[in-house]
Chains A and B, each alone.
Chain A
Amino acid sequence: MLTKRIIPCLDVKDGRTVKGVNFVNLRDAGDAVELGALYAAHGADELVYLDITATVDGRSTFIDLVRKVAHTINIPFTVGGGISSIADVSALLHAGADKVSINSAAVKNPDLINELSLEFGSQCIVVAIDTRYIETENGQEHIVHTHGGRKPTELRTIPWAKEVEDRGAGEILLTSMDTDGTKAGFALELTATISGNANIPVIASGGAGNMEHFYDVFTAGKADAGLAASIFHFREIDIPDLKKYLHDKKLPIRMTR
Protein backbone atom coordinates (compact mmCIF):
# COMPACT_ATOMS: atom_id res chain seq x y z
CA MET A 1 0.00 0.00 0.00
CA LEU A 2 1.23 3.49 -0.80
CA THR A 3 2.50 4.94 2.47
CA LYS A 4 2.23 8.33 4.11
CA ARG A 5 5.60 10.07 4.01
CA ILE A 6 7.48 11.71 6.87
CA ILE A 7 9.79 14.46 5.66
CA PRO A 8 12.31 16.38 7.77
CA CYS A 9 13.24 19.77 6.37
CA LEU A 10 16.78 21.10 6.75
CA ASP A 11 17.46 24.81 6.41
CA VAL A 12 20.89 25.41 4.94
CA LYS A 13 22.96 28.56 5.02
CA ASP A 14 26.40 28.68 3.41
CA GLY A 15 26.36 24.90 3.15
CA ARG A 16 25.53 24.27 6.79
CA THR A 17 22.30 23.48 8.59
CA VAL A 18 20.85 26.19 10.75
CA LYS A 19 18.36 25.86 13.60
CA GLY A 20 19.61 24.10 16.67
CA VAL A 21 20.27 20.45 16.45
CA ASN A 22 20.72 18.12 19.34
CA PHE A 23 21.93 14.74 18.20
CA VAL A 24 24.46 13.12 20.48
CA ASN A 25 25.81 10.74 17.87
CA LEU A 26 26.49 13.41 15.35
CA ARG A 27 30.04 14.66 15.13
CA ASP A 28 28.97 17.91 13.54
CA ALA A 29 25.32 18.88 13.81
CA GLY A 30 25.81 21.64 11.27
CA ASP A 31 26.93 19.16 8.64
CA ALA A 32 23.92 18.99 6.34
CA VAL A 33 25.08 15.78 4.68
CA GLU A 34 25.64 13.95 7.93
CA LEU A 35 22.35 15.09 9.38
CA GLY A 36 20.48 14.03 6.24
CA ALA A 37 22.14 10.61 6.33
CA LEU A 38 21.12 10.24 9.96
CA TYR A 39 17.50 11.07 9.17
CA ALA A 40 17.56 8.61 6.29
CA ALA A 41 18.91 5.92 8.61
CA HIS A 42 16.14 6.77 11.08
CA GLY A 43 13.51 6.05 8.44
CA ALA A 44 12.76 9.48 6.97
CA ASP A 45 10.93 8.85 3.70
CA GLU A 46 12.30 11.90 1.94
CA LEU A 47 14.31 15.00 2.79
CA VAL A 48 13.90 18.64 1.91
CA TYR A 49 16.93 20.94 1.85
CA LEU A 50 16.04 24.59 1.81
CA ASP A 51 18.78 27.03 0.85
CA ILE A 52 18.32 30.22 2.81
CA THR A 53 21.57 31.78 1.58
CA ALA A 54 21.10 34.91 -0.43
CA THR A 55 24.57 35.33 -1.93
CA VAL A 56 26.02 34.01 -5.18
CA ASP A 57 28.86 32.27 -3.32
CA GLY A 58 26.31 30.62 -1.10
CA ARG A 59 24.49 29.33 -4.16
CA SER A 60 27.51 27.46 -5.49
CA THR A 61 28.22 26.11 -2.01
CA PHE A 62 24.66 24.80 -2.00
CA ILE A 63 25.16 22.99 -5.30
CA ASP A 64 28.28 21.32 -3.88
CA LEU A 65 26.19 20.29 -0.92
CA VAL A 66 23.46 18.85 -3.17
CA ARG A 67 26.10 16.78 -4.93
CA LYS A 68 27.39 15.42 -1.62
CA VAL A 69 23.90 14.66 -0.35
CA ALA A 70 23.01 12.82 -3.56
CA HIS A 71 26.19 10.82 -3.29
CA THR A 72 25.55 9.88 0.31
CA ILE A 73 21.87 9.19 0.86
CA ASN A 74 19.71 6.60 -0.85
CA ILE A 75 16.28 8.16 -0.44
CA PRO A 76 14.69 10.95 -2.50
CA PHE A 77 15.38 14.57 -1.65
CA THR A 78 13.96 17.89 -2.75
CA VAL A 79 15.87 21.15 -2.83
CA GLY A 80 14.42 24.64 -2.68
CA GLY A 81 15.16 28.26 -1.95
CA GLY A 82 15.65 31.04 -4.45
CA ILE A 83 15.10 28.92 -7.56
CA SER A 84 13.89 31.14 -10.38
CA SER A 85 15.00 29.76 -13.74
CA ILE A 86 15.42 26.69 -15.91
CA ALA A 87 19.19 27.08 -15.46
CA ASP A 88 18.86 26.96 -11.65
CA VAL A 89 16.77 23.80 -11.84
CA SER A 90 19.05 22.18 -14.38
CA ALA A 91 22.11 22.75 -12.15
CA LEU A 92 20.38 21.29 -9.09
CA LEU A 93 18.99 18.23 -10.90
CA HIS A 94 22.35 17.58 -12.53
CA ALA A 95 23.98 17.76 -9.12
CA GLY A 96 21.67 14.88 -8.13
CA ALA A 97 18.58 16.41 -6.52
CA ASP A 98 15.47 14.32 -7.20
CA LYS A 99 13.04 17.24 -7.10
CA VAL A 100 13.15 21.01 -6.88
CA SER A 101 10.74 23.23 -5.06
CA ILE A 102 9.81 26.65 -6.41
CA ASN A 103 7.91 29.27 -4.49
CA SER A 104 8.12 33.03 -5.10
CA ALA A 105 9.29 32.59 -8.68
CA ALA A 106 6.12 30.62 -9.47
CA VAL A 107 3.97 33.41 -8.04
CA LYS A 108 5.86 36.04 -9.97
CA ASN A 109 5.88 34.09 -13.22
CA PRO A 110 3.37 31.20 -13.23
CA ASP A 111 4.49 30.17 -16.74
CA LEU A 112 7.72 29.00 -15.14
CA ILE A 113 5.80 26.00 -13.75
CA ASN A 114 4.74 25.00 -17.28
CA GLU A 115 8.24 25.53 -18.65
CA LEU A 116 9.92 23.52 -15.90
CA SER A 117 7.50 20.61 -16.08
CA LEU A 118 7.88 20.42 -19.85
CA GLU A 119 11.64 20.59 -19.63
CA PHE A 120 12.24 18.23 -16.70
CA GLY A 121 8.94 16.36 -16.15
CA SER A 122 6.22 17.09 -13.61
CA GLN A 123 7.52 14.45 -11.24
CA CYS A 124 10.42 16.64 -10.15
CA ILE A 125 8.64 19.99 -9.89
CA VAL A 126 7.28 20.78 -6.45
CA VAL A 127 5.44 24.06 -6.02
CA ALA A 128 5.65 25.43 -2.49
CA ILE A 129 2.72 27.53 -1.36
CA ASP A 130 2.99 29.65 1.77
CA THR A 131 -0.45 30.67 2.92
CA ARG A 132 -2.03 32.81 5.59
CA TYR A 133 -5.69 33.36 6.54
CA ILE A 134 -6.16 37.11 6.44
CA GLU A 135 -8.76 39.85 6.22
CA THR A 136 -9.42 40.90 2.63
CA GLU A 137 -12.07 43.01 1.00
CA ASN A 138 -14.13 39.82 0.70
CA GLY A 139 -13.75 38.95 4.39
CA GLN A 140 -11.33 36.34 5.79
CA GLU A 141 -9.57 34.41 3.04
CA HIS A 142 -6.62 32.08 2.54
CA ILE A 143 -4.07 34.16 0.63
CA VAL A 144 -0.75 33.09 -0.87
CA HIS A 145 2.25 34.85 0.68
CA THR A 146 5.85 35.23 -0.43
CA HIS A 147 9.08 36.31 1.25
CA GLY A 148 8.92 33.70 3.96
CA GLY A 149 5.23 34.39 4.51
CA ARG A 150 5.64 38.09 5.15
CA LYS A 151 4.28 39.51 1.93
CA PRO A 152 0.68 38.89 0.82
CA THR A 153 -0.02 38.42 -2.89
CA GLU A 154 -3.17 38.81 -4.95
CA LEU A 155 -3.58 35.04 -5.16
CA ARG A 156 -6.19 33.06 -3.28
CA THR A 157 -4.65 29.84 -2.01
CA ILE A 158 -7.28 27.27 -3.00
CA PRO A 159 -7.59 28.25 -6.69
CA TRP A 160 -3.81 28.80 -6.88
CA ALA A 161 -3.23 25.22 -5.74
CA LYS A 162 -5.46 24.01 -8.56
CA GLU A 163 -3.70 26.29 -11.02
CA VAL A 164 -0.21 25.04 -10.18
CA GLU A 165 -1.42 21.48 -10.74
CA ASP A 166 -2.97 22.43 -14.09
CA ARG A 167 0.29 24.09 -15.06
CA GLY A 168 2.22 20.89 -14.44
CA ALA A 169 3.38 20.82 -10.83
CA GLY A 170 4.03 17.28 -9.64
CA GLU A 171 3.53 17.95 -5.97
CA ILE A 172 2.37 20.76 -3.67
CA LEU A 173 4.22 21.71 -0.49
CA LEU A 174 1.62 23.62 1.51
CA THR A 175 2.86 25.65 4.47
CA SER A 176 0.37 27.40 6.68
CA MET A 177 2.02 30.50 8.11
CA ASP A 178 -0.83 30.62 10.64
CA THR A 179 0.22 27.35 12.23
CA ASP A 180 3.96 27.42 11.41
CA GLY A 181 6.00 27.61 14.60
CA THR A 182 2.96 27.23 16.86
CA LYS A 183 3.37 23.47 17.52
CA ALA A 184 -0.43 23.44 17.76
CA GLY A 185 -0.99 21.16 14.80
CA PHE A 186 -1.22 21.41 11.01
CA ALA A 187 -3.88 23.49 9.24
CA LEU A 188 -6.19 20.52 8.80
CA GLU A 189 -9.16 22.08 7.10
CA LEU A 190 -7.19 23.94 4.44
CA THR A 191 -4.91 20.96 3.82
CA ALA A 192 -7.93 18.67 3.42
CA THR A 193 -9.57 21.07 0.97
CA ILE A 194 -6.46 21.43 -1.16
CA SER A 195 -5.54 17.75 -1.06
CA GLY A 196 -9.15 16.77 -1.78
CA ASN A 197 -9.19 19.03 -4.84
CA ALA A 198 -5.81 17.91 -6.09
CA ASN A 199 -4.83 14.90 -8.12
CA ILE A 200 -1.18 15.36 -7.14
CA PRO A 201 0.34 14.67 -3.72
CA VAL A 202 0.16 17.37 -1.06
CA ILE A 203 2.88 17.73 1.58
CA ALA A 204 1.55 19.47 4.68
CA SER A 205 3.88 21.77 6.58
CA GLY A 206 3.63 24.11 9.54
CA GLY A 207 2.47 23.43 13.06
CA ALA A 208 3.63 19.92 13.93
CA GLY A 209 4.14 19.73 17.69
CA ASN A 210 3.44 16.11 18.57
CA MET A 211 2.87 12.72 17.00
CA GLU A 212 -0.89 13.03 17.03
CA HIS A 213 -0.63 16.07 14.77
CA PHE A 214 0.84 13.84 12.08
CA TYR A 215 -1.97 11.31 12.56
CA ASP A 216 -4.48 14.14 12.20
CA VAL A 217 -2.94 15.58 9.06
CA PHE A 218 -2.86 12.16 7.37
CA THR A 219 -6.50 11.42 8.28
CA ALA A 220 -8.59 14.59 8.71
CA GLY A 221 -6.06 16.64 6.70
CA LYS A 222 -5.90 14.09 3.83
CA ALA A 223 -2.21 14.90 3.36
CA ASP A 224 0.09 12.55 1.46
CA ALA A 225 3.16 13.63 3.41
CA GLY A 226 3.94 15.59 6.54
CA LEU A 227 6.94 17.89 6.83
CA ALA A 228 8.53 19.38 9.90
CA ALA A 229 11.85 20.89 10.92
CA SER A 230 12.54 21.93 14.48
CA ILE A 231 10.67 19.13 16.25
CA PHE A 232 12.95 16.67 14.48
CA HIS A 233 16.09 18.78 14.85
CA PHE A 234 15.56 19.24 18.57
CA ARG A 235 14.55 15.59 18.93
CA GLU A 236 11.19 16.45 20.40
CA ILE A 237 9.98 13.68 18.13
CA ASP A 238 12.21 10.85 16.95
CA ILE A 239 11.28 9.60 13.50
CA PRO A 240 11.36 5.87 14.44
CA ASP A 241 8.96 6.58 17.36
CA LEU A 242 6.69 8.64 15.13
CA LYS A 243 6.53 5.97 12.46
CA LYS A 244 5.83 3.26 14.99
CA TYR A 245 3.06 5.38 16.52
CA LEU A 246 1.41 5.95 13.14
CA HIS A 247 1.87 2.32 12.14
CA ASP A 248 0.27 1.17 15.41
CA LYS A 249 -2.65 3.46 14.58
CA LYS A 250 -3.06 1.50 11.33
CA LEU A 251 -1.83 4.14 8.93
CA PRO A 252 0.17 2.91 5.93
CA ILE A 253 3.75 3.68 6.96
CA ARG A 254 7.08 2.41 5.62
CA MET A 255 8.68 0.60 8.56
CA THR A 256 12.39 0.21 8.08
CA ARG A 257 13.24 -1.97 11.05
Chain B
Amino acid sequence: MKTVIIKYNAGNVQSVMYALDRIGASYLYTDDEEEIRSADKVIFPGVGEASTTMNYLRKVGLDKVIPTLKQPFFGTCIGMQLMCRFSEENNTECMGIFDVDVKRFPATPDLKVPHMGWNNITGYKTALTTGLPDDAYVYFVHSYAAPVCEYTVASCEYVLPFSAMLHKDNFYAAQFHCEISGDAGQQILKNFLDII
Protein backbone atom coordinates (compact mmCIF):
# COMPACT_ATOMS: atom_id res chain seq x y z
CA MET B 1 0.00 0.00 0.00
CA LYS B 2 1.23 3.44 -0.87
CA THR B 3 0.56 6.11 1.73
CA VAL B 4 1.45 9.71 1.02
CA ILE B 5 1.83 12.47 3.58
CA ILE B 6 1.29 15.78 1.84
CA LYS B 7 4.26 18.10 2.10
CA TYR B 8 3.42 21.76 2.59
CA ASN B 9 4.37 24.63 4.86
CA ALA B 10 2.78 23.29 8.04
CA GLY B 11 4.69 22.23 11.12
CA ASN B 12 4.81 19.13 13.26
CA VAL B 13 4.67 16.62 10.44
CA GLN B 14 7.59 14.71 11.97
CA SER B 15 5.38 13.42 14.80
CA VAL B 16 2.95 11.99 12.25
CA MET B 17 5.76 10.13 10.51
CA TYR B 18 6.92 8.69 13.82
CA ALA B 19 3.36 7.62 14.60
CA LEU B 20 3.17 5.77 11.26
CA ASP B 21 6.54 4.17 12.01
CA ARG B 22 5.13 2.93 15.33
CA ILE B 23 2.29 1.13 13.59
CA GLY B 24 4.67 -0.24 10.99
CA ALA B 25 3.31 1.73 8.03
CA SER B 26 5.57 3.04 5.29
CA TYR B 27 4.88 6.41 3.66
CA LEU B 28 6.14 8.93 1.20
CA TYR B 29 6.38 12.60 2.17
CA THR B 30 5.83 14.62 -0.97
CA ASP B 31 4.04 17.50 -2.70
CA ASP B 32 4.25 15.89 -6.15
CA GLU B 33 0.82 15.74 -7.77
CA GLU B 34 1.41 12.42 -9.56
CA GLU B 35 2.68 10.75 -6.41
CA ILE B 36 -0.32 12.05 -4.49
CA ARG B 37 -2.83 10.97 -7.14
CA SER B 38 -1.36 7.48 -7.36
CA ALA B 39 -1.38 6.90 -3.59
CA ASP B 40 -3.74 4.44 -1.91
CA LYS B 41 -4.08 6.67 1.13
CA VAL B 42 -3.33 10.34 1.65
CA ILE B 43 -2.65 12.02 4.98
CA PHE B 44 -2.80 15.80 5.31
CA PRO B 45 -1.55 16.71 8.78
CA GLY B 46 0.02 19.79 10.25
CA VAL B 47 0.03 22.66 12.63
CA GLY B 48 -0.12 26.18 11.30
CA GLU B 49 -2.09 29.30 10.57
CA ALA B 50 -4.96 29.13 8.06
CA SER B 51 -4.11 31.97 5.65
CA THR B 52 -0.38 31.14 5.41
CA THR B 53 -0.96 27.45 4.78
CA MET B 54 -3.85 28.11 2.37
CA ASN B 55 -1.79 30.64 0.40
CA TYR B 56 0.95 28.07 0.07
CA LEU B 57 -1.47 25.40 -1.18
CA ARG B 58 -2.75 27.88 -3.78
CA LYS B 59 0.74 28.81 -4.86
CA VAL B 60 1.70 25.18 -5.55
CA GLY B 61 -1.76 24.26 -6.90
CA LEU B 62 -2.55 21.66 -4.23
CA ASP B 63 -5.79 23.53 -3.43
CA LYS B 64 -7.11 22.27 -6.77
CA VAL B 65 -5.63 18.78 -6.49
CA ILE B 66 -6.86 17.81 -3.02
CA PRO B 67 -10.64 18.26 -3.54
CA THR B 68 -10.51 16.05 -6.65
CA LEU B 69 -8.74 13.11 -5.00
CA LYS B 70 -10.63 9.82 -4.96
CA GLN B 71 -8.69 7.67 -2.48
CA PRO B 72 -9.24 7.76 1.31
CA PHE B 73 -7.91 11.11 2.50
CA PHE B 74 -7.36 12.11 6.12
CA GLY B 75 -6.74 15.70 7.23
CA THR B 76 -5.83 16.48 10.82
CA CYS B 77 -5.67 19.70 12.83
CA ILE B 78 -5.02 22.60 10.41
CA GLY B 79 -5.44 20.02 7.63
CA MET B 80 -9.05 19.52 8.71
CA GLN B 81 -9.71 23.25 8.91
CA LEU B 82 -8.34 23.81 5.41
CA MET B 83 -10.80 21.18 4.15
CA CYS B 84 -13.70 23.35 5.36
CA ARG B 85 -15.26 26.22 3.41
CA PHE B 86 -13.91 29.21 5.31
CA SER B 87 -11.90 29.95 8.45
CA GLU B 88 -12.28 32.99 10.66
CA GLU B 89 -8.52 32.79 11.20
CA ASN B 90 -7.49 35.79 9.11
CA ASN B 91 -10.72 35.40 7.11
CA THR B 92 -9.41 32.63 4.91
CA GLU B 93 -11.28 30.98 2.04
CA CYS B 94 -10.41 27.29 2.33
CA MET B 95 -10.91 24.28 0.05
CA GLY B 96 -14.61 23.76 0.71
CA ILE B 97 -14.68 19.97 0.82
CA PHE B 98 -16.87 20.25 3.91
CA ASP B 99 -19.46 22.97 3.55
CA VAL B 100 -18.95 24.41 7.02
CA ASP B 101 -17.16 27.47 8.41
CA VAL B 102 -14.42 27.29 11.03
CA LYS B 103 -14.97 29.77 13.86
CA ARG B 104 -12.91 31.06 16.74
CA PHE B 105 -13.91 29.83 20.20
CA PRO B 106 -15.78 32.69 21.86
CA ALA B 107 -14.08 34.25 24.90
CA THR B 108 -15.61 32.83 28.05
CA PRO B 109 -14.61 33.43 31.67
CA ASP B 110 -12.55 30.51 33.00
CA LEU B 111 -12.29 28.76 29.64
CA LYS B 112 -8.98 29.51 28.00
CA VAL B 113 -8.36 29.73 24.28
CA PRO B 114 -6.52 27.78 22.82
CA HIS B 115 -8.33 24.63 23.80
CA MET B 116 -5.22 22.70 24.80
CA GLY B 117 -5.06 19.23 26.30
CA TRP B 118 -6.98 15.97 26.51
CA ASN B 119 -10.71 16.03 25.93
CA ASN B 120 -13.21 13.27 25.21
CA ILE B 121 -14.97 12.68 21.91
CA THR B 122 -18.49 11.26 21.57
CA GLY B 123 -21.19 10.31 19.07
CA TYR B 124 -19.01 8.15 16.81
CA LYS B 125 -20.37 7.64 13.29
CA THR B 126 -17.24 6.63 11.41
CA ALA B 127 -15.11 3.58 10.74
CA LEU B 128 -12.13 5.53 12.04
CA THR B 129 -13.32 5.17 15.64
CA THR B 130 -13.73 1.37 15.42
CA GLY B 131 -12.36 -0.26 18.57
CA LEU B 132 -12.20 2.96 20.57
CA PRO B 133 -13.72 3.11 24.04
CA ASP B 134 -16.77 5.38 24.41
CA ASP B 135 -15.68 8.89 25.28
CA ALA B 136 -12.09 8.28 24.22
CA TYR B 137 -9.65 11.00 25.23
CA VAL B 138 -7.61 12.64 22.51
CA TYR B 139 -5.21 15.58 22.46
CA PHE B 140 -6.31 18.95 21.11
CA VAL B 141 -4.48 22.23 20.51
CA HIS B 142 -6.56 24.79 18.64
CA SER B 143 -8.29 28.15 18.88
CA TYR B 144 -10.67 27.65 15.95
CA ALA B 145 -13.18 24.88 15.40
CA ALA B 146 -15.86 23.69 13.00
CA PRO B 147 -19.34 23.62 14.57
CA VAL B 148 -21.32 20.41 14.64
CA CYS B 149 -22.78 19.92 11.16
CA GLU B 150 -24.11 17.25 8.79
CA TYR B 151 -20.58 15.87 8.26
CA THR B 152 -19.79 15.53 11.97
CA VAL B 153 -18.93 11.93 12.84
CA ALA B 154 -17.49 12.57 16.32
CA SER B 155 -17.97 15.62 18.49
CA CYS B 156 -16.32 17.24 21.46
CA GLU B 157 -17.30 20.01 23.81
CA TYR B 158 -15.35 23.09 24.82
CA VAL B 159 -17.23 26.33 25.37
CA LEU B 160 -19.61 24.91 22.73
CA PRO B 161 -20.01 21.51 21.07
CA PHE B 162 -17.81 21.30 17.98
CA SER B 163 -16.77 18.79 15.31
CA ALA B 164 -13.93 16.56 16.47
CA MET B 165 -14.14 14.50 13.26
CA LEU B 166 -15.74 15.04 9.87
CA HIS B 167 -16.47 12.62 7.05
CA LYS B 168 -17.83 12.99 3.53
CA ASP B 169 -17.28 10.40 0.79
CA ASN B 170 -13.54 9.59 0.72
CA PHE B 171 -12.63 12.57 2.92
CA TYR B 172 -12.01 12.11 6.64
CA ALA B 173 -10.79 14.70 9.10
CA ALA B 174 -9.91 15.07 12.76
CA GLN B 175 -9.37 18.28 14.70
CA PHE B 176 -7.16 16.59 17.29
CA HIS B 177 -3.64 15.20 16.99
CA CYS B 178 -3.92 11.45 16.42
CA GLU B 179 -0.13 11.17 16.46
CA ILE B 180 0.14 12.19 20.12
CA SER B 181 -3.26 11.03 21.36
CA GLY B 182 -2.02 7.86 23.03
CA ASP B 183 -3.51 4.48 22.14
CA ALA B 184 -6.77 6.07 20.94
CA GLY B 185 -4.97 8.22 18.38
CA GLN B 186 -2.88 5.30 17.22
CA GLN B 187 -6.04 3.23 16.72
CA ILE B 188 -7.62 5.97 14.60
CA LEU B 189 -4.56 6.18 12.34
CA LYS B 190 -4.51 2.43 12.03
CA ASN B 191 -8.24 2.37 11.21
CA PHE B 192 -7.65 4.93 8.47
CA LEU B 193 -4.89 2.83 6.94
CA ASP B 194 -7.18 -0.22 7.16
CA ILE B 195 -9.99 1.37 5.13
CA ILE B 196 -10.44 -0.60 1.93
A-side interface residues toward B, CB under 8 Å? Answer: 1-3, 5, 40, 45, 70-72, 74-76, 93-96, 98, 120-124, 170-171, 198-201, 224-225, 254, 256
Contact = CB atoms under 8 A, between A and B. Distances in A.
Contact of B139 (A1, A40, A75, A93): A75
B12 A2 contact: no
B182 A256 contact: yes
A121 B48 contact: yes
Nearest to B17: A96
Contacts of A2: 115, 117-119, 158
Contacts of A71: 18, 21-22
Given A96-B14, A96-B15, A124 B117 contact: no
Number of chain B interface residues as a range: 20 to 34
Nearest to B119: A2
Interface string B83-117: 00000000000000000000000010000111111
Contacts of B12: 93, 98, 124
Contacts of B15: 70, 96, 98
Contact of A201 (B14, B49, B112, B179): B112
Interface string B20-44: 0110000000000000000000000
Contacts of A98: 12, 15, 180
Contact of B11 (A74, A76, A120): A120
B47 interface: yes
A170 B142 CA distance: 11
A123 B18 contact: no
A122 B113 CA distance: 12
B47 A123 contact: yes
Given A96-B14, A98-B15, A123-B141, A5 B21 contact: no
Q: Which of A74, A94, A198, A225 neighbours the largest number of chain B CB atoms within 10 Å of its CB?
A: A74
Contacts of A225: 117
Contacts of A1: 119-120, 157
29 contacts: A2-B115, A2-B117, A2-B158, A3-B137, A70-B15, A70-B18, A71-B22, A72-B22, A74-B179, A74-B180, A74-B181, A74-B185, A74-B186, A75-B139, A76-B177, A93-B11, A94-B14, A95-B14, A96-B14, A121-B11, A121-B47, A124-B11, A170-B141, A171-B116, A200-B112, A201-B112, A201-B116, A254-B118, A254-B137
